[in-house]
Every structure is written in C-alpha cells, then in structure tokens.
Amino acid sequence: MSWKEVFSSSRYWAVYNPAVAAPSPVLAWVDLSLMPDDVKPSWWTSDLSQIALTAAQWTARQTTGQGIQNGAIVAYTPPAAVVPLKTQATSAQAWIQQQANLAAAMGATFTADMKAYVLAINAIASGTDTTSTTLPAQPTDVMTATTTTGATT
C-alpha cells in the first residue's frame, strides 16, 4: 500500500502540528496529485497531523492567516514575537553609541537624563539589572551644548 492510499479520502490536505496550542498554524497545503506515489515527503513527519479538505476549501485557502482548530480551518493570527529585554537593551546600545559619536563630533556632552539612560540600558544589557521589565524611555534631551570662549590677547 502506498503512503497516498492512506490519504485516499481526499485529494487536498492541510498539515499542522497538534503539539502547538490551537489554533495551530497551517504548515503546508498539500495537493496529493502533485506528490510522488512511492515516497512520502520527508518534511511530512509522523508528529504532524492533517485534515482533509474539500475542493471548495482548497480553492478558498490562503497562504497566511489560517489555522486549524477542532478539525476545522479557522482565522489565525500568529502571536507577536517576544523580544527578550536584554536583546532590546543591546539594540538600544547601538543608538547610544550613535549619540555618543555625534556628541563627540560636536564637542557636546550627554545630559544627566542621557547619562542615567545609558547606565540603565547597560545594566539591563549586561544582566546586572534583572528586575526591569521594560526599557526606560529614550530621553528627549540627549546632549548639552558646550560653549567655547576665544582667548584674547
């Protein structure tokens, strides 16, 4: 018996991972008529599940925004990616470095607010601050202007 005979109840299938909380995203839309008879695709592993689709469901399928819940195709919005706070702080350090370069080029120095921001970001990025849950807001006042006085003779 070929692997396709096991799936003979339908030509069209939606493949998903049942270990993912429902609704599970559709991992693959499969038209069996396009698959070889002798070898099941290597990506279609035994830990994945599938539901049979009608021709109408196949025609209405979308490449994104659909998932599977309780054996049915449903609207699906993937969860937002969670960026760890330490990673966010490391990214913020690039902005700080840019500001430091600008300040040095213009002969300016950081404001007290900016210095406090730098210390807070560095503590989060280095892991010494383990209690913060969000980054501090970027200060609006970053540099203090330095005045130069000309020497008189």
**15: β partners:** 28, 50
**In what helix (H) or strand (E) does residue 131 lie, and over which residues does it extend?**
none
Read off the amino acid at residue 59: T
Contact criterion met (CB below 8 Å) for 49 and 29: no
Q: Which pLDDT does position 149 carry in this prediction?
A: 53
Whole-model pTM: value is: 0.56
Strand, helix or coil for residue 118:
helix
Cα 108 to chain centroid, rounded: 37
Per-residue pLDDT of the chain in tens (153 residues, 90 and over written 9): 677 777 778 899 999 999 998 899 999 999 988 988 888 888 888 889 999 999 999 999 988 889 999 999 999 998 888 999 999 999 999 999 999 999 999 999 999 999 999 999 999 999 999 999 999 999 999 998 765 555 555
User: Domain residues of the chain, as ranges?
Assistant: 3-75, 85-144
